[in-house]
Amino acid sequence: MRATMILTSGVSLKKSFCKGFTIVELLISMAIGIFIIAGAISVFVSNQSVNREKTTLDNAQDAHRFAAFTMSRVVRQGELDPLATDSELVIRLSAGPNVRDCQGQTVASAQVINTFSESNGVLLCTTPQGTSSVIEGTSSLGIAYGVDSNSNGWISDDEYTVRSNVSNIDSVRSVRIELGAERPVEFVATLRSAVFRQLRGDDPTDPDPDPDPDPDPDPDPGPDPDPGPDPEPTFVDCGCKRTGNSNSVALTGANPAACTNACCQTKWDSASPKPCSNNNCVFTAQCVVP
């Protein structure tokens, strides 16, 4: 915009100037800028919060996975002790190669008692050397004992019960454990020593013991080509599928030599009650590695 000023002397001077922002326009621009910056900060803070929660959840899952591995290892290597209760899992370990207690120490003495318990959100492990924490962040410890009431080698869901309902501790074949947390973790560990005793026939809970415990004499005794003791059988868990009304087939597994159709069919025929009800279900069978 140009303006002309007329002086008394008759001299004409021309003055030019540029128009700037008004106060209203400046305030609107500042408000828009503040809104954009606030939105960016909000997105950043939200992402940081999500990352922290994800890290916390991942750490909790790793901790519970470690606890499940440790408890399962101790249960598989030991035997259930009569001191076990509804809230404490007590396992008796015997010295042997590669046998370690819940604290990772080698079991050197004849027998060592390991006790798992929960206190103030901490899963504890107690040995003769003392008490140590396994993981933190466990709100509860649930223990159910699988009782093989009919000695058929199968433990159904309704055969798991609390310790106060178990009259014979030798009839327990597995333990179902639940670690309380924001996302509870549940797993089952098998007492292998009790299972092996049943398979060898020296199970004290066998309802039909051999009336003649003495072995029948060999009609043709000869030199034993293998004087060494027979090794204990090795079992693996095999996936089986029930197809139709009369066939049980083995699913593809890591040990095809052990996981056979014959093993699956034998386990199905000997199971009472059956591991599943319909004719197209999947169940697990323990098969001997040849």
Residues 257 and 195 in one domain: no
Q: Which of 156, 182, 200 is the last residue of a domain?
A: 200
CB 164 within 8 A of CB 86: yes
Residues 164 and 64 in one domain: yes
Residues 136 and 261 in one domain: no
Residues 88 and 193 in one domain: yes
Q: Is pLDDT above 50 for 2?
A: no
**Residue with the two structure tokens 């973790």:** 185
Residues 111 and 194 in one domain: yes
pLDDT tens figures, 67-121? 999 999 999 888 898 889 999 999 999 887 788 888 888 887 778 999 999 999 8
Residues 73 and 133 in one domain: yes
pLDDT tens figures, 23-77? 888 889 899 999 899 999 989 888 888 888 888 777 888 888 899 999 999 998 8
CB 147 within 8 A of CB 162: no
Q: How far is CA 268 from CA 31, 154, 245, in A?
A: 75, 10, 11
Which among 173, 165, 170, 171 has a CA at the least distance from the CA of 189?
173
Residues 128 and 180 in one domain: yes
Residues 179 and 265 in one domain: no
In-domain check, residue 16? no
Q: Which of 155, 174, 200 is the last residue of a domain?
A: 200
pLDDT tens figures, 218-274? 445 555 555 555 566 777 777 787 776 666 666 665 577 777 777 877 777 777 677
Number of folded domains that form the chain:
2
Residue 254: how many other CB atoms lie within 10 Å:
9
Residues 171 and 271 in one domain: no
CB 288 within 8 A of CB 258: yes
CB 163 within 8 A of CB 195: no
In-domain check, residue 157? yes
Q: How far is CA 254 from CA 114, 257, 258, 266, in A?
A: 32, 9, 9, 20
Residues 137 and 246 in one domain: no
Which among 146, 150, 145 has a CA at the least distance from the CA of 205?
150
Q: Which domain holds residue 243?
A: 235-288
In-domain check, residue 31? no
In-domain check, residue 193? yes
